[in-house]
């Protein structure tokens, strides 16, 4: 009996080639696109190009080209609750969210896998650049980095559980981006040269503060910029407009560069510091997920990343309790931000990770 695969298609080249490779492996493939929001929901004008509608059309045409069925699933309510609202709450609470991780965790690899099971599909397929392997000796599924280090997306997949890894296929993990575009060209796919999306999908212009104010209908009061000793340096324009490590866009005339160190919600203050004060050696994470093991029984050496674009750094990790990791780096790291993910690696494999406290 042929295995049935449900392929999450964004309309981009990666998921389109993933669909081709899945079918080429002999799966009974079906393409789907997740309808996550309407233009009006995110403050976009109707007449403005709507990436979601364009992408749906591109995905549909790719499926027609590949000769596989195509459907659109409406996940707007779940996306609003688990991604957009979490994004807004994080900024309001002074932390820095990672909505792509939330989307993977709550939508693509939770709600979508449940939908696939309800429809008797054997697995869900995405165009992420990473690989899933099964270790017979350990009886565990493992998450491995992509062979294309410039496109590796293992960082945003650390939250996958054993159940989800067992139900997921990632065909692009052994391909480079260049090879993926080459395959799309050879197939004559409409999106072979389509640019990769760079921004958060529901904030296409990258202006997070404007989106939050428009979406919530709320305004966020001005307050003081202060240094680490409490001296007032000027006035900020609302606490949601600033992130840890930020230098540009402060609107201050200062004698030397200063950076956002933290935000005090109680006093509505944004604390600024010199660059050398942004560095710290340790952090704690909550809401952890471990992949290579059920529990870290003793401190172990790992490589760790505290943001998507950062290289891995040497560290020691210790599990404090069922939901807390303590990570100590060999060297101080710059601008560790509450709300971002700390992801741990052992060579090419993802050990696990959690949300920075």
Residue 306 DSSP symbol: S
Q: What is the CATH number of domain 220-273?
A: 2.30.30.280
Give the up-direction half-sphere exposure of residue 156: CA atoms within 13 A in the CB hemisphere: 20
Distance in angstroms (rounded) separating the CA atoms of residues 160 and 265: 32
Q: What is the mean pLDDT of the chain?
A: 94
Burial class (CB in 10 A: 0-12, 13-18, 19+), 12: buried
Does 130 show up as a binding residue in the annotation? Answer: no
- Contact predicate 285/356, CB 8 Å: yes
pLDDT at 48: 39
Closest CA to 260 of 231, 228, 220: 228
Digit-coded pLDDT (tens) for 4-62: 999 999 999 999 999 999 999 999 999 999 999 886 666 655 433 334 578 899 999 99
* 166 marked ligand binding residue: no
Q: Is 14 marked as binding a ligand?
A: yes
Verify whether residue 63 is a known catalytic residue. Answer: no
Instruction: Summarize pLDDT for 110-123 with one digit per residue, the tens.
Output: 999 999 999 999 99
Specify the DSSP element, H or E, that contains 261.
strand 259-264
Determine whether the annotation assigns residue 8 to a binding site: yes
Identify whether 103 is a catalytic site residue: yes
Largest CA distance in the chain: 71
Please provide the DSSP assignment of 176-242 as one string: -HHHHHHHHHHHT-TTTTPPPP-S-TT-TT--HHHHHHHHH------EEEE-TT--EEEEES-GGG-
Q: What percentage of the chain has pLDDT greater than the value 70?
A: 96
**What digits encode the pLDDT tens for the residues 55-84?**
899 999 999 999 999 999 999 999 999 999
**Separation of alpha carbons 221 and 261, rounded Å:** 19
- Find the angle CA(342)-CA(262)-CA(252) to the nearest 5 degrees: 130
Active-site hit among 100, 123, 159, 201: 201
Domain with CATH 2.40.30.10 in the chain: 279-356
| Angle (deg, nearest 10), helices 208-216 and 85-92 | 110
* pLDDT top residue among 299 and 200: 299
Phi, psi of 220 (to 5 degrees): -120, 120
> What burial letters (b/e) apply to 96-106, b meaning 16+ CB within 10 Å?
bbbbbbbbbbb
Q: Collapsing DSSP states into helix, strand and coil, what is residue 20?
A: helix
Top-tier CATH class for 279-356: mainly beta
Predicted confidence at residue 41, as pLDDT, reads 63
Residue intervals in the chain for CATH 2.30.30.280: 220-273
The predicted pLDDT at position 53 comes to 72
258 annotated binding-site participant: no
pLDDT for position 194 = 86
Question: Is pLDDT at 183 greater than 70 in this prediction?
Answer: yes
| Contact (Cβ atoms closer than 8 angstroms) between residue 140 and residue 163 | no
pLDDT on residue 52: 59
Residue 326 scores a pLDDT above 50: yes
Contact present, 315 and 301 (Cβ < 8 Å): yes
Please indicate whether residue 315 or residue 53 has the higher confidence score (pLDDT). 315
User: What's the pLDDT score for residue 335?
Assistant: 95
**Predicted pLDDT of residue 49:** 37
Q: Measured between alpha carbons, how far is residue 333 from residues 137, 156, 286, 342, 354 in Å? A: 36, 20, 19, 12, 17
- E strands, 58-213, in order: 70-74, 123-125, 130-135, 140-145, 168-169
Q: Which CATH number fits domain 4-187: 1.10.3720.10, 3.40.50.300, 3.40.50.620, 3.40.50.10490?
A: 3.40.50.620
The ranges of the chain annotated as CATH 3.40.50.620 are 4-187
- How open is the CA angle 209-212-216, to the nearest 5 degrees? 150
Q: Does 243 have pLDDT greater than 60?
A: yes
Active-site residue, selected from the candidate residues 63, 103, 123, 159? 103
Q: Is 29 annotated as a binding residue?
A: no
Q: Rounding to the nearest 10 degrees, give the CA dihedral for residues 53, 59, 63, 69.
A: -60
At residue 6, the 3 state secondary structure works out as strand
Work out the percent of the chain whose per-residue pLDDT is above 90.
90
């Amino acid at each position: 009996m042929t295995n049935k695969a449900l392929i999450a298609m964004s309309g981009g080249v990666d998921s389109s080639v993933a669909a081709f490779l899945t079918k080429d492996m002999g799966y009974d493939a079906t393409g789907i696109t997740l309808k996550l929001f309407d233009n009006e929901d995110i403050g976009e004008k109707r007449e403005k190009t709507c990436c979601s509608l364009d992408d749906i059309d591109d995905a549909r045409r790719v499926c027609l080209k590949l000769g596989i069925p195509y459907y659109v699933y409406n996940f707007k309510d779940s996306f609003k609750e688990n991604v957009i609202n979490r994004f807004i709450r994080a900024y309001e609470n002074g932390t820095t969210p990672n909505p792509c991780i939330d989307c993977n965790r709550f939508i693509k690899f939770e709600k979508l896998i449940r939908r696939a099971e309800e429809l008797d599909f054997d697995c869900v397929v995405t165009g992420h650049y990473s690989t899933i392997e099964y270790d017979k000796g350990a009886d565990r599924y493992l998450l491995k980095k992509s062979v294309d280090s410039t496109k590796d997306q293992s960082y945003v997949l650390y939250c996958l559980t054993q159940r989800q890894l067992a139900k997921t296929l990632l065909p692009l993990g052994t391909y480079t981006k260049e090879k993926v575009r080459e395959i799309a060209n050879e197939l004559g796919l409409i999106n072979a040269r389509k640019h990769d999306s760079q921004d958060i999908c529901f904030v296409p212009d990258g202006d997070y503060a404007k989106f939050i104010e428009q979406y919530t209908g709320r305004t966020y009061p001005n307050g003081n910029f202060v240094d680490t000793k409490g001296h007032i340096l000027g006035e900020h324009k609302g606490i949601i407009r600033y992130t840890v490590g930020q230098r540009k866009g402060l609107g201050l005339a200062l004698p030397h560069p200063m950076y956002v160190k933290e935000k005090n919600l109680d006093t509505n203050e944004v604390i600024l510091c010199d660059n050398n004060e942004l560095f710290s050696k340790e952090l704690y994470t909550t809401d952890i997920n471990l992949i290579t093991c059920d529990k870290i029984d003793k401190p172990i050496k790992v490589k760790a990343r505290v943001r998507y674009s950062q290289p891995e750094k040497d560290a020691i990790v210790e599990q404090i309790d069922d939901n807390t990791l303590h990570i100590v780096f060999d060297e101080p790291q710059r601008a560790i931000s509450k709300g971002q993910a700390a992801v741990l690696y052992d060579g090419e494999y993802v050990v696990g990770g959690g949300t920075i406290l």
